[in-house]
Amino acid sequence: MSTLATALEKRRSIYALGKNKVIPEQRVREIVEHAVKHVPSPFNSQSARVVILFGSESTRFWGLVRDSLKPLVPPEAFGKTDEKIKAFDGGYGTVLFFEDQSVVRGLQARFPLYADNFPVWSLQSNGMLEFAVWTALAEEGAGASLQHYNPLVDEAVRSAWGVPADWKLLAEMPFGSVEAAPGEKEFLPLKERVLAYGDGKA
């Protein structure tokens, strides 16, 4: 199997994270920068933005998530919520994924014919970036998962790290050492999901 195919299989949602720095912080930064640079975007608009939070800054983020959820979750259920947050904070960092809405609006103004498509393509492109970072972290031995506490934490994130107002938060990826392997994953029959005609016909 190719290196890429192996990496695709290796990427899983890892919830049991530890603080053992299996990938040094500088290397995490390189991985993220490489993905941000090379992941495609509509009209090469490069609308993705990322904030990487290491150590205490990551803990600060999960504290903001906790503070945002507390008034919304019934007290008797908050223990479970808090456990989840602690697990995400169990790693040694979190990657925040954004799309710069000023870029999306700029594309809509320049290419009115595709105006409705740009917000959708922006999300698709960011999904590619999230996947690329997730897979690259897994490839080098770190575990991660994909979380969505946006838009709940948007304002808190903006003021905590001075994030520009046009950067729309789309996903949060806590990462760390893999402290427990993920469970077995079930797969639907590929015959139901992939059709091929012509030379690729089964």
Ligand X SMILES: Cc1cc2nc3c(=O)[nH]c(=O)nc-3n(C[C@H](O)[C@H](O)[C@H](O)COP(=O)(O)O)c2cc1C
Contact between 147 and ligand X by CB under 6 A: the answer reads yes
Smallest gap from residue 185 Cβ to ligand X (A): 6
What count of other Cβ atoms lies within 10 Å of the Cβ of residue 69?
17
Smallest gap from residue 134 Cβ to ligand X (A): 8
For helices 117-139 and 101-110, angle between their N-to-C axes, nearest 10 degrees: 140
Q: Note whether 25 and 57 are within 8 A (CB).
A: no
Kindly indicate which of the ranges 18-26, 32-40, 140-148, 161-169 contains the residues binding ligand X, using the contact rule CB under 6 A.
140-148
> What is the token pair recorded at 8?
């695709």
Distances (CA, A) of 59 to 67, 86, 103, 193: 12, 9, 30, 40
Contact between 123 and ligand X by CB under 6 A: the answer reads no
Contact between 128 and ligand X by CB under 6 A: the answer reads no
Interface characters, 161-200, with ligand X (x: CB under 6 A): ---------------------x--x---------------
Kindly indicate which of the ranges 23-31, 43-51, 97-105, 142-150 contains the residues binding ligand X, using the contact rule CB under 6 A.
142-150
Alpha-helical regions (H) of 25-172: 25-38, 56-69, 75-88, 101-110, 117-139, 154-161
Residue from 8, 146, 152, 160 touching ligand X (CB under 6 A): that is 146
Contact between 12 and ligand X by CB under 6 A: the answer reads yes
Cα 55 to Cα 176: distance, rounded to the nearest angstrom = 10
The footprint of ligand X (CB under 6 A) covers 12-13, 145-148, 182, 185
